[in-house]
Amino acid sequence: MKRVPVWLLSLLSLIAPVLALDYDVFILAGQSQGVNYDNNAANLPVELQSPQTNVKFWYNFGWWPDNSSNGVLSSNGTWGNLAPQAKGSTSVFSSRVPSGGSGFGPEITLGHDLAAALPTRNIAIVKYTFNSTSLAQRTDREGWNVNDRNQIYDGMLAEVNAALAALTDAGHTASVKGFLWIQGEGDQGDRTYANAYQQNLTDLFTGVRNQWNSEMVAVTVRLSTAQVTDWWRANGYNEEGFNIVRAAQVAVGEAGPRNGWINTDDLNIVPNTVHFNEASTQTIGSRMAAKYVELVPEPSSLALLIGGAGAYSLLRRRRG
């Protein structure tokens, strides 16, 4: 029997890790704050306008259930590198993003900061967010409720499973480590929806854990007092429902050791909208990453945990 040359064994040992990687997958889900409907990528730091080659990205988002080319942006069932998403001729982003421009959501700093905090891990993000959607069971539109078949929740299950299958088909392994939820505006306007929010959010967290990983981190972003402006008071704000949903988000976020919630009361809104501006969306992504690190600490991630608001908060202050 011929012996395999030492040089060939050495070459194979170098190639094998490149061919087969183990990915930590994070799901970003919710409504227009996750899209983010009003964020123009031209206002990002230059470093975040370019693809982040150390973070994989899969996306499908826009207007539900509009599956036309005008209503949805997607990565067409393939993994790419994390980057702002080109608007093209769609209506997925508002007019603040020109037709030739790009938009972004919290994923842009979520991925950056996770990769910085967990340098030995391979980070992958699935973005599945839809404008003007709610968590309640409704008869007038499709939503996220886990008990509604063939609606957004089932669509998310199929999308994430397709993303995971694409990784395994390429020879990799993957597990869902975190579920990041940013939503609530669509439920605060109706007292019935608001009263059901705590149970519906609990069911959502239970559902994704049952589907992918019972130990995954699940985090919700709390509605912000900064959103309560004269514009929103005239366009769907309900004070009682708003406070009920906020309390529900905290209650679910504190309901278990792998649950969390994120405060946004100190952040800023795009005028005449309920949407966070570009700087605040970046902060939310950083806080998502920091919350994950807080709940699943690793020695290499302590710098991010101590930093709190994330790597790009200081940069934004300096550019102020």
Q: What is the pLDDT of residues 14-46, one digit of tens each?
A: 544 557 999 999 999 999 999 999 999 999 999
CATH for 97: 3.40.50.1110
Kindly report the average pLDDT of the chain as a whole number: 91
Backbone phi and psi for residue 81, each to the nearest 5 degrees, phi listed first: -95, 145
Residue 11 lies in a domain: no
Burial class of 125 by CB neighbour count within 10 A (0 to 12, 13 to 18, 19+): buried
- What's the domain range around 73? 21-319
The whole-number pLDDT of residue 131 equals: 95
Residue 307 pLDDT greater than 70, yes or no:
no
pLDDT band with cut points at 50, 70 and 90 for residue 50: very high
Residue 107 lies in a domain: yes
The whole-number pLDDT of residue 139 equals: 86
- Token output for 218: 């699940």
Residue 7 pLDDT greater than 70, yes or no:
no
Q: For residue 60, give the H/E element and its range.
A: strand 52-63
Residue 287 lies in a domain: yes
Residue 319 pLDDT greater than 50, yes or no:
no
Cβ contact 226:264 at 8 Å: yes
Mean pLDDT confidence for 294-311: 62
The whole-number pLDDT of residue 5 equals: 67
Burial class of 320 by CB neighbour count within 10 A (0 to 12, 13 to 18, 19+): exposed
Quickly count: other Cβ atoms within 10 Å of residue 150's Cβ.
10
Residue 194 lies in a domain: yes
Q: Give the number of domains in the chain.
A: 1
pLDDT in tens, 113-157: 999 999 999 999 999 999 999 999 998 888 999 999 999 999 999
Backbone phi and psi for residue 208, each to the nearest 5 degrees, phi listed first: -70, -35
Residue 312 pLDDT greater than 80, yes or no:
no
Residue 261 lies in a domain: yes
Residue 15 lies in a domain: no
Opening angle at CA 81, ends 63 and 169, nearest 5: 90
Residue 285 amino acid letter: G
Residue 5 lies in a domain: no
User: What is the residue whose two structure tokens read 């109706």?
Assistant: 190
Residue 250 lies in a domain: yes
pTM score over 0.85 = yes
